[in-house]
Amino acid sequence: MLLSESPGEAMASDFRAACVELADAEAVCRSRDTPATRRRVEECRDRIDAILDMWNAAGHAR
């Protein structure tokens, strides 16, 4: 988090980064489907879920 970022901006930035990581993990999994690559996709999804949970807990839900 940058000092000038609000917590909401930091969460949005984390969310965008997690989405990029998920897209990368899914691409790798499509080309090389192994337990390890599937696990990486699940880890990325879990990270996104955690970020969304924090977003909702902070009262940003609409």
User: In which band, very low, low, confident or very high, does the pLDDT at 58 lie, cut at 50, 70 and 90?
Assistant: confident
pTM of the model: 0.84
Quick: pLDDT tens for 2-25.
Answer: 567 788 888 999 999 999 999 999
Looking at 1-62, list the stretches that DSSP marks H as alpha helix, in order from N- to C-terminal side: 7-31, 35-57
Diameter of the chain measured on Cα atoms: 41
Q: Which long-range contacts (CB under 8 A, 24 or more apart) does 16-20 make?
A: 18/44, 18/47, 18/48, 18/51, 19/48
How much is the average pLDDT of 44-50?
98
**Predicted pLDDT of residue 49:** 98
Cα separation of the two ends of the chain: 23
The answer to whether 7 touches 51, Cβ cutoff 8 Å, is: no
